[in-house]
A and B are shown apart, each in its own frame.
Chain A
Amino acid sequence: MFVLHANWHGDQLHIWGESSSLFQKLSQAGAHEKIVAATDDSKSEVIANHPFACAQAELRELAARVGFAVAENATSSSMQLLLPFDHKNPAPSDRLAVAMDTDVDNGADLHLDTVQVPTLIIPVNEVQEKLLAFEIAGGLNHEHTGHEFQFWCAAARFGLELMEDQRVVPTVQQDRSGVVKAHWRPWLHDAAIAERAATLLAGMPPICRAVTDAHDGEGWLVLESFLNACVDSFLRQVMLAENYVEAIEDRDPTVDPHVAWLGGLLGNNIEVKNLAVGDVSLVRGVRQWLAILEDIGEGRPMHLLLQLDEPSSALFTKQEGEEDKHAWRLSFQLITTEEPPTILEAETIWAQASGRGGANQAAEKTAELLLGELARVSRLWPKFEDALEETSPTGLDLTTAEAYVFLRDIKPLLEESGVQCTVPDWWGASSTRIGAKLFIEGDGPSPEMLTNSMVAGRKGGFGLHSVVNYSWQIALGDQPLTMEAFEALARKGSPLVRINNRWVEMRKEDLEAGLKFLKQHPGGQMSLLEALRLAHGAGDDANGIPVVGMDAKGWVAEVFGPIDAIDRMPQLEQPKLFQGSLRPYQLSGLRWLAFLGRYGLGACLADDMGLGKTIQLIALLQIERQDSPEGERVGPTLLVAPMSVLGNWNRELTRFAPELTVHIHHGLDRPQGEKLKEVAEKSDVVITTYALVARDQEDLEKIAWRRVALDEAQHIKNPPTKQTAAIRAIQSDHRIALTGTPVENRLTELWSIMEFCTPGYLGTLADFKRRFAVPIERHRDRNRAEKLRNLVRPFVLRRLKTDLNVISDLPPLIESREHVPLTNEQITLYDQVVEEMLSKVDRAEGLRRRGLVLSALVKLKQICNHPLHFLRQTQLPDIATEDALKNIGESDDSLDTALAIPESRGDRSLSSRSGKSTRLIEMLEEVVAAGDRALIFTQYRQMGHLLVTMIRRELDTESLFLHGGTPQAKRDQFVDRFQDPQGTAPIFVLSLKAGGVGLNLTAANHVFHYDRWWNPAVENQATDRAFRIGQLRTVNVHKMISDGTLEERIDQMIQQKMELATQIISSGEAWLTELSTGQLREILSLRTTALEDV
């Protein structure tokens, strides 16, 4: 076991590693013993070797294990690092700590010290490609990969991006010996680029600047050096490959400074030779040249502002087609840098400068500035020189062609150079480009009719496959053009034309694509799915022409009309039988689900956690029953959910829609075959788990489902598992996916979900990756992201708690109970403890009896929390751990670790042993993905440690842990870190006693009560850490309850305000000790309602 690290040092990437076995030896030797002695005692300055750094000889092999390829002949080296030390030795990195299952105590007192580590060198010319290949291969998420690799990969991508965008310049530098060297450098000075670089820098993990070298811990120097070296190396490789040196081969560098300079730029040689001794003219000349780039008017009191006005429309009353002669006016102005800025017209400036009342000096300065600015821009566009021929230039008259050049080509350059441009607002708007408009028409009856006539196993039950007629028309914006008008435009060949009193950009390629498109798409028939795809821009790339709109007739209009806007969908009232009241946004979610459902169009409801996806689905089930014609039974909905929420669903269905018949398809005695069919057809909802769908696929397929709905739909992942395949194989009229993770940010997940909801809509996975996932995720392609958003918009509804229309509907505090099942392991332990206690209390009396009961209660609560919480406390053998140890014993590396090591990030081996932690981790994953923050309260310090370890390991997320032993200074530090908007620890675990009062943690908008105190006042006090003045968002409170256990029992009593409740609240669990053995058995033994694991 090891963790691989990388640092930039001496213009090369050095990889090194931490070894878990060495770390373990060190821990065994005693943490306070410094086992590495300095190699030479005579000198006090000798730097100690890192005590648990991987040996050089192993590094290559270890890197290969996480997928980072290092050449066989890689150079060995070493470097000195400043690392956090715990006492006398370096503290393990976060990754190593997780792998070692070291209890995470992020309150430890650390200090910096220097150690030497052996490294292997990745030469600079390989760095970028190696890093990117590593990233693509998924190496970054490998648990043996140090987190800093994420940063290096981002930096490598940034370097490539700068080169792709041609933002590199040749430079020179001269050193002490007078030698002049040439380098290629990324040009990072421009505002937008510098901003990006600054953002990247702010994300730099401290370890990246821990090398003790000339950069001296200065992050920007490290990053700049990385970018510089990568860019220079890449360029030289490009030029060598294309033999650029040939260009200057027969030129004399002694007479031509250009040739001399290029001699140091075009190949591997970086020295500029053939310069006279002491000649500084090249350095100074290049500096003067590059200074032009730096000069973007900073420090000037005013900047140039150019305003382009289209020719007055009055001129167009005569004849269209003669506009070329009309002048576009580009007027010169100066704008001050103060806020708010003042704009000075050139006319005014000249008038004031030559003022008759005696020229004033300030006015003269302003005039000079204007001239200077005009001289500056004339370097970028010689057209400006025309203006400089006048004495007092106020602007330029441009022809239409010139105006187009200005808009398309010159404006972006000017803006980069610090010149502001004001242009007509139609420029750049999509409504002014040529596109194709789609017309579709549906014949015959609406496919809505299909939905109520179900045939088991019917293929393609979706309305998506209904056939529609279509045709295309060329349009400008959304205004259709006749073929004649279009061809007339094409003939004119002008890039800017005036149509219907509006200027539009007419790109030659658009025209050609338009004509070609019309020839290839005479119209015909296609599926509704295809029509929807096209109407939402799916075909843009292939056709070379954007789809700018659509018109629908017949029944299709019912679908297409409202599909992009909920408020155009038919109004709905809350279902009459719904027990409660839907918030307005929930009602519109219901409207949306019902609308798509009516046409058999799949839907993905991706509302933020806590917005009530569950009840929207429940209401949908009710409304379709309410609206169905008398005597016609609506088919059952198959609801697939993770084990951890089965109980919750059942409970919510009972609470909000008691009239619905629910069958929980779970447990060993679940009905099979015909029996299942019978049960299902009598039910409104059949709830089952992902695992069981795969197991009982054959039986489930035979049932005529109205709908298949997935909760926590992110479970259907890629590559497709047996579960995923089984779920997709089950036919139904309608499909719904519920998920709380921000699907729009995880594109392959989005594809999987859409492939379930609306099969085929996003194309094949390979196609989708090529067109969307890769450009958006890797190259941050804005246009593609926009296209994808348009494409999925009809089928994905995601509302955030922060959305304005949601906020107004939400109460400031939402409390919910998370009922979770026990795992088999928990059930076994729970039963054991109950039986043991019952057998003992019978024979005990008085204080001893009371003691027995109380200790059993604590044990039961621990078991509900997590088996390990109980086992560690009681020193009982941990079966799972023993198994893991056995397995490890069989592997080669027996020293590695005491616990099973998760192989990938998705591994939930620790949390899956407890129902509560399974659910908690699921929910936290959504919290973290949404960028939210959470507090977790527990009564037990031991459990807190376990949670922190779990969160680190399974979510790869940092959390803070505050308990009774945390010193005051650390507490303050934790609170600051948690509250800091830039902080990297989104989860705060607190022991209820230590963290229940006094702290202000308003950064959190989720509060979890992992185990229960029973006293609402105490719990509320804890909740109030987040729910207090300064909290601007809705706070979601989640109370975790293990089903069937005493937790559930007591919770019920409190909720139902039973007589006992007051006693429970005031005395905790003490009242239980007063019960008879029979009563104890009744209250404590597991209820059968608990869903057993399978």
Chain B
Amino acid sequence: MSLNPPAGHPKKPDAPRRVRHGIKFRRKNGLADLPWTAQAFVEVIQEKASLGAQVLGMEYALSGQLASFSVDEGLVEAQVQGRAFKPYTVRISLQHLTPEKWSEVVQLMAKEAMFAAKLLVGEMPVDIEEVFQECAVQLLPHTWKDAKAECDCGEKIPCKHIVAVTYLLAERIEVDPLVIFALRGLPGTKLLERLQEARNVHSAGVSQSHQSAQLPSQKAKLPPLESCLNEFWRPGKKLSDFQALPAQEHIPHAVLRRLGASPLGGKFPLVGLLASVQDSLRAKVIELRQRIDEGAP
């Protein structure tokens, strides 16, 4: 328990400077009834932080001393206004998983629909830690050592600022459990995308950029082979119908023009190149056709 006044900063006031529109901890019942995911972070900080840091940290959190708070770049970054003129910068991070490990995790999650289903509605699946464990990694921090926290206040780490930020993080996790994935290096939305792709692969073998075309006759499928034994070797009558269908009028680059600009965000003039490929293609097919036609007896 240490409520020592900070040494060496005589000019500092007794209370932290107020922050206008600061980010506040708003839970009605404090740290009670937090979801298990958020609880993990609180427990880790409580394990290490002094009681004073915990109390003051909560005070900071409640009074909105955080000028900013983000978990965007794979770590928590916050500006906490203390008694000094400038706010302190707090960073809390977890060890990121390697891309290979993430792939492993995603593949494993793809096997059970439950994971994608829960994540899609913004819930953390209860079995999530088991998946990570199976890949010999973990999602949530278990001990203080699992996390990395820093603050430029100069006090003993974890300081009250870090505590405050941790509480805010816990509150955020309760609202958006998927931020935890960001802390492990893969934002939740990206995880969901990859999960969906992996699930495509899982069910169909591959994940494709488009579905196979639906034929109008899909409703009236070909009869099973067993019932075609007497006409096994002959084309159906429709083959001559097909051959009698008149060719379509050519609309230059119809498909490409309907596609418009690529949404991929590349700099290379993709559509222009594709158009020229298609022109070469058309020319080559016509050339082939003429070559074959001329070979006609």
Given contacts A110-B230, A166-B282, A209-B222, contact A380 B260 (CB under 8 A): yes
Residues in B with CB closer than 8 Å to A779 are: 247, 289
| CB 8 Å contact bits of A359-400 with B (1 = contact, 0 = none) | 000000000000000000001100000000000000000000
CA distance A257 to B107 in the complex (A): 24
CB-based contact B201/A290 at 8 Å: no
B136 within 8 Å of A by Cβ? no
Residues in A neighbouring B233, C-beta threshold 8 A: 93-95, 146-148, 205-207
B245 CB–A CB distance under 8 Å:
yes
User: Are the C-beta atoms of A276 and B99 separated by less than 8 Å?
Assistant: yes
Contacts of A193 in B (CB 8 A): 248
Given A160-B289, A166-B256, A259-B268: A290 touches B225 (CB 8 Å cut-off): no
Residues of B within 8 A of A178 (CB): 103
B232 in complex: contacting residue of A175, A205, A289, CB < 8 Å = A205
Return B199 CB to nearest CB of chain A, in Å.
Answer: 11
- What's the minimum C-beta distance from B164 to chain A, rounded to whole angstroms? 34
> Is B255 a contact of A256 with CB atoms below 8 Å?
no
Contacts of A285 in B (CB 8 A): 262-265
CA gap between A779 and B292 in the complex, in Å: 12
CB contact under 8 A between A147 and B210, given known A166-B255, A257-B264: no
Q: B281 interface residue, CB < 8 Å from A?
A: yes
A283 to B280, CA, bound (A): 26
* Assembled-state Cα–Cα distance A973/B286 (Å): 46
Contact with B along A763-787 (1 / 0, CB 8 A): 0000001000010001111100100
Interface members, chain B 34-72 (any A CB < 8 Å): none
A-chain residues with CB within 8 Å of residue B214 when the two chains form the complex: 189, 194
Q: Which of B230, B239, B244, B258 contacts A151 (CB 8 A)?
A: B239
A-chain residues with CB within 8 Å of residue B201 when the two chains form the complex: 174-176
Q: Does A72 contact B (CB under 8 A)?
A: no
A863 to B242, CA, bound (A): 43
From the candidates A197, A234, A412, A981, name the one contacting B251 in the complex (CB within 8 A).
Answer: A412
Which residues of B sit under 8 angstroms from A262, Cβ to Cβ?
Answer: 268, 270, 273
Q: Is the CB of A258 within 8 A of B247?
A: no
Contact code string B84-120 (vs A, CB < 8 Å = 1, else 0): 0000000000000001101100110000000000000
Contact of A289 with B250 in the complex, beta carbons under 8 Å: no
Interface residues of A in 281-327 (CB under 8 A from B): 281-294
Known: A168-B255, A174-B207, A292-B258. A189 touches B213 (CB 8 A): yes
Residues of the A chain whose Cβ atoms lie less than 8 Å from the Cβ of B278: 166, 168
Q: Give Cα distance in the complex from A138 to B297, angstroms.
A: 9
Please encode chain B, from 259 to 279, with 1 for each CB lying within 8 Å of some chain A CB and 0 for all others.
110111111111001100110
Query: What's the Cα separation between A198 and B103 when bound, in Å?
Result: 40
The answer to the question of B11 belonging to the interface, with a C-beta cut-off of 8 Å to chain A, is: no
The answer on a CB contact under 8 Å between A278 and B242 is no
Question: Which residues from B are CB-within-8-Å of A136?
Answer: 292-293, 295-297
Chain A: residues with Cβ within 8 Å of the partner, total of 125
Known contacts being A199-B238, A413-B254, is A168 close to B281, with CB within 8 Å? yes
The verdict on A704 contacting chain B, using a C-beta distance below 8 Å, is no
Number of CB contacts from chain A to chain B under 8 A: 321
Please judge, given known A-B contacts A154-B243, A261-B264, whether A413 and B234 are in contact too, CB under 8 Å: no
Interface residues of A in 835-882 (CB under 8 A from B): none
Residue numbers in B under 8 Å from A195 (CB-CB): 216
Determine whether the beta carbon of A774 is less than 8 Å from that of B296: yes
Q: Could you tell me if A110 and B229 are in contact, using CB atoms closer than 8 angstroms?
A: yes
Contact assessment for A175 and B295 in the assembled complex, using a CB-CB cutoff below 8 Å? no
Partner of A164 from B218, B231, B285 at Cβ < 8 Å? B285
Question: Within the assembled complex, what's the spacing in Å between the Cα atoms of A290 and B216?
Answer: 20
A203 contacts which of B230, B239, B267 (Cβ < 8 Å)?
Answer: B239
Is B226's CB within 8 Å of the partner chain A? yes
Q: Is the CB of A277 within 8 A of B285?
A: no
Residues B239 and A200 in contact, CB atoms below 8 Å apart? yes
Question: How far is it, in angstroms, between the C-alpha of A196 and the C-alpha of B259 when the chains are bound?
Answer: 22
The stretch among A240-248, A516-524, A1027-1035 that forms the contact with chain B is: A240-248
Residue of B nearest to A970 (CB): B230
A247 to B273, CA, bound (A): 8
| Residue of A whose beta carbon sits closest to that of B270 | A258
Interface members, chain A 200-220 (any B CB < 8 Å) = 200-207, 209-210, 217-220
Residues from chain B with a CB closer than 8 A to the CB of A82 are: 225
Q: Is the CB of A290 within 8 A of B209?
A: yes
Say yes or no for A513: interface residue by CB 8 A criterion: no
- 8 Å CB contact of B205 from A175, A244, A774: A175
A247 to B275, CA, bound (A): 13
A334 to B282: give the CA distance in the assembly, Å. 36
The verdict on A196 contacting B245 (CB below 8 Å), with A187-B255, A278-B102 known, is yes
Alpha-carbon distance between A205 and B267 when the two chains are bound, in angstroms = 48
B296 to A, closest residue via Cβ: A136
The minimal Cβ–Cβ distance linking A208 to chain B, given in whole angstroms, is: 9
Q: 6 other contacts beyond A110-B230, A166-B254, A191-B216, with CB at 8 A cut-off?
A: A132-B292, A136-B292, A137-B297, A166-B282, A176-B202, A289-B264
- The 23 sampled A-B contact pairs (Cβ below 8 Å) are A164-B282, A165-B282, A166-B250, A166-B282, A168-B255, A170-B274, A173-B206, A173-B207, A176-B201, A198-B215, A202-B222, A203-B239, A238-B277, A256-B268, A258-B267, A262-B268, A280-B194, A285-B265, A286-B264, A292-B258, A413-B254, A781-B247, A984-B236
Q: B interface vs A, CB < 8 Å?
A: 99-100, 102-103, 106-107, 193-194, 197, 201-202, 205-218, 221-222, 224-226, 228-260, 262-270, 273-274, 277-278, 280-282, 284-286, 288-289, 292-293, 295-297
Give the B-binding residues of A (Cβ under 8 A): 82-84, 93-95, 106, 110-112, 129, 132-133, 136-138, 146-148, 150-151, 154, 158, 160-161, 163-176, 178, 185, 187-189, 191-207, 209-210, 217-220, 224, 234-235, 238-239, 241-242, 244, 247-248, 251, 256-259, 261-262, 266, 276-278, 280-294, 379-380, 412-413, 416-417, 769, 774, 778-782, 785, 958, 973, 977, 981-985
